[in-house]
Chains A and B, each alone.
Chain A
Amino acid sequence: MTTARTRRRVNRTATHILLAVGAALVILPFLFMTSTSLKSQTQVLEYPPRLLPTDPTLDNYTEVLTGEQFGVYFANSLIVAVAATAITLVISSLLAYAFARLDFPGKEPIFYGLLVGMMIPPVMLIIPQFLIARQLALLNTLTGLIVIYVTMNLALQTFLLRGFFEDVPRELEEAAIIDGAGPGTILWRVILPLSRAGLAVVAIFTFLYAWDEFPWAHVAIQETSKRTLPIAIALFHGQHATQWGKVFAASMIALIPIVLLFVFLQRYFIRGISTTGIKG
């Protein structure tokens, strides 16, 4: 009896040790990035590398924000991500409602067409999207980024929302129908309020996508003032290859919204991933 109990305790301790060591390895690069962002240029590649800066300074942060316009890039990223998220929520809710609840000719083929669209490798579309965006004068504009981010999220998010909408019990709609509500009212008053978790999942992952996206912004934006954080950071590194302190100060700034989102909405994240298999 006692041996079984001690064995279980040893087992549990071993589990925690393994998990803690693994987590430490996973987190170590982040710690090193944080410490590098607090080092002056002379200490960045000092030998041997130090995990804790001897003389921490916030200079990199102030220089990146004032001298390098990272405040502007941050605002651009925020505008693009918020707008893309809001528009994706609206359009994919409408689509998802039609597929979940309405009955119309051609429903199945349209739905499967959308699913096929979900499987197209996004970078494959970059060339023609570039040419079409040029035709529509969308290059070098934040609108051009927003439009493509909505596009690239539409199919997947519609598919996810459709699942959440189908889970809303139909009985709840009956009262609204008897009161003479049309499909628009039902969607707005009944389905959406009952699908908050699903909307949260869609919002989080669309926002993250837009915040992270690099390939499209990289080809679509040439003008400095229109850069979003990922291209601004990559181009800054390209021009100042050795100024790692500033590169990581800018990166840390770019991480703020993600960490906030992640820490406060963790349960939506996990639920979203484990119930839908969405890839963050």
Chain B
Amino acid sequence: MKETPADPALLARRERQGGSDQRSERPVGGSTKAGPPIGRSRLRKLGVALLFLLPGLVVFFTFVLGPMAYSLRISFFDWNIIHPETSEWVGFANYTRALNDPKFGRAVANTLAYTAITVPAQIVLGTGIAILLNKAIRGRVLYRVLYYLPVVTPWVIVALLFKFLFIGQGGLVNHVLRNVLGVIDQDVLWLADPILIFAPIITLGIWKGLGWTAVIVLAGLQTIPVELEEVAKVDGATAWNRFRYITVPLLRPTLVFLLVVLVVGGLNAYVSNLLITDGGQPFGETHFVLTLMYQETFDRLDFGYGASISYLLTALVFVISVVQLRLLRRKVDL
């Protein structure tokens, strides 16, 4: 047992030499020393590393990669949840069914519209807040806390809260619109209309994401050297031109990051819709892709169809992300 502590130490030292110094030294050390042959030392390294990797890899294979493969398989079956062995192979039928299902088409359209509205709104408003926060030295911490509060509040709570605010009779939003601002003359029944019901869902999406967007943009703004703006100011550049030609280009990597992450988040929106629409109400026309997937899978127990929907959404997310990065990367590098 006495040798065991020495062995890892030796390994660690060798690791350090290989890692911190130039890579070219590693083969030299390996060949000149009369130590164990390279094959065995590599195995030993793998052994030590496995002690560190094993718990994580077991979890990852059991609950991420395994399930992904399983789900792919299920999506090609008319899956029987009670007797899986009797499930019938149906090929791409679940996929073609989804692509021809008007409910799925509607859910995709709803999800895309939600994303197309909430993402630019969050970026524009978040950037505005970040610019103001960057100017305001006093009170920055307090403002940051206030703007960030919605971000850390659980989705279930804020979804129910926005549903409450948009209640037709006695809701705060109608009261403000009608009696304070006077822009409507009778209560709007937001929650009973398949289009208007997206008002609470969309405002919630923007309101909840604003603080995070602002903090990310603020971090980006703080990397821009103050001198650049000052030089431009001396040269007589207007505030808008400074924003347009200094801030925006230098902020571009941050904005691209935000765009990609927020779009993925928007396409995966779920809890707000589920709770505000009570699962696609009214008329089953208000689904997002994931709420539809949930309903088909766990209410109708059509696991094969649900799995194919989840793969279609993943493909959509993947394609949109890749397209965004392709289109915007060149401009980021400048």
Contact = CB atoms under 8 A, between A and B. Distances in A.
B307 A263 contact: no
Nearest to B187: A47
A166 B181 CA distance: 55
A15 interface: yes
B16 A94 contact: no
Contacts of B19: 101, 103, 170
B52 A98 contact: yes
B104 to A, nearest CB: 15
Interface stretch (A25-33, A53-61, A63-71): A25-33
A266 interface: yes
A183 B170 contact: no
B98 to A, nearest CB: 14
Q: How large is the interface on A (under 10, 10 to 19, 20 to 34, 35 or more residues)?
A: 35 or more
A94 B63 contact: no
B56 A117 contact: no
A248 B156 contact: no
B9 A274 contact: no
B53 A94 contact: yes
A104 B209 CA distance: 40
A234 B313 contact: no
Interface string A116-151: 010111111111111110000000000000011011
Contacts of A229: 154
Contacts of A233: 156-157, 160
B192 interface: no
B9 A22 contact: no
B136 A12 contact: yes
Contacts of A124: 71, 310-311, 313-314
B160 A234 contact: yes
A95 interface: yes
B142 to A, nearest CB: 8
A234 B275 contact: yes
A219 B170 contact: no
Given A48-B179, A131-B70, A254-B157, A262 B53 contact: no
A108 interface: no
Interface in B119-174: 129, 132-133, 135-136, 139, 141, 143-158, 160-162, 164-165, 167, 169-172
A106 B270 CA distance: 37
B109 interface: no
Nearest to B66: A132
B64 A125 contact: yes
A174 B167 CA distance: 65
A183 B162 contact: no
Contacts of A26: 146-147, 149-150, 207, 210-211
Contacts of B149: 26-27, 30, 262
A94 B215 contact: no
A75 interface: no
A15 B42 contact: no
Given A105-B46, A117-B60, A262 B12 contact: no
A214 interface: yes
A98 B53 contact: yes
Contacts of B314: 120-121, 124
B254 to A, nearest CB: 9
Given A233-B156, A280-B212, A121 B146 contact: no
B20 interface: yes
A92 to B, nearest CB: 7
Contact of A132 (B62, B133, B161, B268): B62
B71 A127 contact: yes
A60 to B, nearest CB: 14
A180 B4 CA distance: 10
Contacts of B132: 15, 18-19, 22
A212 B156 CA distance: 8
B67 A128 contact: yes
Contacts of B228: none
B275 A186 contact: no
Interface in B283-306: 290, 293-294, 297-298, 303, 306
Contacts of A12: 135-136
Interface stretch (B89-97, B244-252, B257-265, B326-334): B257-265
* Pairs A-B, 10 closest by C-beta atoms: A182-B8, A128-B67, A274-B219, A104-B49, A45-B170, A98-B52, A128-B71, A151-B63, A95-B56, A212-B154
Interface of B: 5-9, 11-13, 15-16, 18-20, 42, 45-46, 48-53, 55-57, 59-60, 62-68, 70-71, 74, 129, 132-133, 135-136, 139, 141, 143-158, 160-162, 164-165, 167, 169-172, 175, 179, 207, 210-212, 215-216, 218-219, 257, 261, 264-265, 267-268, 270-271, 275, 290, 293-294, 297-298, 303, 306-307, 310-311, 313-314, 317, 321
Interface of A: 11-12, 15-16, 18-19, 22-23, 26-27, 29-30, 32-33, 36, 45-49, 90-92, 94-95, 97-98, 101-107, 110, 113-114, 117, 119-132, 147-148, 150-151, 154-155, 158, 170, 173-174, 177, 180-184, 186, 208, 211-212, 214-215, 219, 229-231, 233-234, 237, 244, 247-248, 251, 254-255, 258, 261-263, 266, 269-270, 273-275, 277, 279-280
15 contacts: A29-B165, A47-B175, A49-B171, A104-B50, A125-B63, A127-B297, A131-B67, A154-B60, A182-B12, A230-B156, A230-B157, A266-B145, A274-B219, A277-B261, A280-B152
